[in-house]
Amino acid sequence: MRNFAAGRGWIAGKTVWGVVLLLVLVRPVFAQQQSIPLWAVGAPGSEGKTAPETVRVSAEGDRIVSTVHQPSITPYLPEAGVATGAAVIIAPGGGHAELWVDHEGNNVAKWLSGHGVAAFVLKYRLAREKGSTYTIDGDELADIQRAIRLVKSRAVEWKVDPARVGVMGFSAGGELAVLASTQYDDGRPGAKDSIDREGSKPAFQALMYPGLPKEIKLTKDTPPAFLLCGAEDRENISQGLPELYLELRKAGVSAELHVYAGVGHGFGLRLSNHGSYSEWPSLFLAWLDTKGFLKH
């Protein structure tokens, strides 16, 4: 296993405040690009919808996006010297009505790219926004599947291994990550759109206090899973996620579970986080390494 201690002194020093020092004092090693539409000519099902995205700011300073009609990804690409070839598409949460794109998106992407993992923050359409005509298992699922295909189609340009492109989802975004990890295809070789020729199966899934679909079809081919939640979260997550872990193991799927005492829902990655749950990014990175996703 590679030694990450040199890049993450807070692990070697066993201090939970190290994540704060890391985010504040260490210059991020990444290159952020502008958002890239998933469909250059417009998303299927969004025809005629031209209202611009709206952004509000929470009391904690987080930007919250709604009115998404042109789904997109924003890349955070590591520099060549630290790039591992692994990539993850990050789906923020927000109850399928909005997207908390900072502490469940951009902050995470910056941290991962600084540690060699290419990260792509997904803005997906919102099925439960007032007046929405979109659906979770239709339009939202299509968005994350398209994001997987898009990243694979540009793997050479972005210096990622198409066999090591995974998904990470927070809360409602976690539900999308589950759907993407259990409903996928090998692409359409004869498709006119070259992106559609790529398969939509993620290499791994990271489920962060996820909303869980009522029915999840697991097989031995389901991608390996990193599962995380707070013990004080609502019961369908704090108990549902450990139950999913057991079901994954019964299906023969490799999985790792973390349930943190003293914390509930929506903690994501913020400078104000403290306690053991603030260490989850390093645990996820170590898990990627254990599973062989961080090979150069």
DSSP assignment of the chain equals: ----GGG-HHHHTT-TTHHHHHHHHSPP-EEE---EESSTT--TT-TT--PPPEEEE-TTS-EEEE--SS-EEEEEEE-TTT--S-EEEEE--STTT-EETIIIIIHHHHHHHHTT-EEEEEE---TTSTT----IIIIIHHHHHHHHHHHHHTHHHHT--GGGEEEEEETHHHHHHHHHHHS-----TT-SSGGGGS----S-EEEES----S-----TTSPPEEEEEETTS-HHHHTHHHHHHHHHHHTT--EEEEEETT--S---S-TT--SGGGGHHHHHHHHHHHTTTT--
Query: CB neighbours (10 Å) of residue 193?
Result: 14
What's the pLDDT tens digit per position in 75-123? 999 998 999 999 999 999 999 999 999 999 999 999 999 999 999 999 9
What's the pLDDT tens digit per position in 155-213? 999 999 999 999 999 999 999 999 999 999 999 999 999 999 999 999 999 999 999 99
pTM above 0.85, yes or no: yes
**Tokens matching residue 282:** 């390093």
Average pLDDT over the chain, rounded to an integer: 90
